[in-house]
Structure 1
């Protein structure tokens, strides 16, 4: 399931290792762009069967494209629109099995079939989202959601 052979077949253990790698990678660095860039690169290395991974950051009341790995993406997403904007409005993670069935889905890449979005909440305020797309339907599940929430929680210590 994962690209790197050092990751365990136990997905939870693999995520635990991923989070340790994230913390080691970001330790001592205070630049948000550098940290988000390395986090997106680490996730891109970790996952198979994805076509985009990155961050959208809140700026003047809307989401604006941040560091990512993948094809060029939509630059601005209003709160409440698409999967990312809905995750911000609800302040909760969203797993979408089929993006074409999601009301108001914003198609930045026609190849995307499923998506997971995890809001980045710091001091009670959404500062952005982690967004991961896959070219296959039903790619993400509750194990991904729970562990990506832990990943974001660790990441926020360095943002």
Structure 2
């Protein structure tokens, strides 16, 4: 399924008036994980500025022990500090990587901005080496903009 064809589904989920915000984000994760073959785990982390930590709020895929991540630690923690997209073609080549599963081969993390401030991120793990393209980055930036509107 093409990334662009998912936009109406995501828009419909996020515009629903019958489910709460966290359930909307979980449903977005599920649509992405179920629709894109190389999106094996999808989650939204949100920043706690006081504690300098990220907290998992919604996800689809195998449960993870990494529900709280310190700023600077792992790919997600680095994005919390850098405010930049981070695409990891092969996680084995990263020194500051937190292993969530032995099956994860690649990861993409896109910061989520609200009113110009990095408040969280979408994190996607893949069991395939180097699956993410510029199209994935652009699409996930769009997803985050849509999510930011409901926060």
Normalised to the residue count of structure 2, the TM-score between the two structures is 0.89
Identify the residue that residue 65 of structure 1 maps to in structure 2.
56
Aligned-partner Cα distance in 2 for 1:64–1:16: 28
Aligned-partner Cα distance in 2 for 1:113–1:124: 31
Post-superposition offset of 1:41: 1.0
Structure 2, unaligned runs of 5 or more: none
Identify the residue that residue 22 of structure 1 maps to in structure 2.
10
Per-residue CA deviation, residues 78-119 of structure 1 (Å, 9 max, x unaligned), is 111111111111111111000111121000111100000011
Tell me which of 14, 24, 27 is aligned to 1:35: 24
RMSD: 1.5
Aligned-partner Cα distance in 2 for 1:49–1:27: 26
Kindly report structure 1 stretches of 4+ aligned residues shifted beyond 4 Å.
none
Identify the residue that residue 92 of structure 1 maps to in structure 2.
84
Structure 1, unaligned runs of 5 or more: 1-6, 8-13
Identify the residue that residue 158 of structure 1 maps to in structure 2.
150
Tell me which of 38, 43, 52 is aligned to 1:54: 43
Q: How many residues align?
A: 147
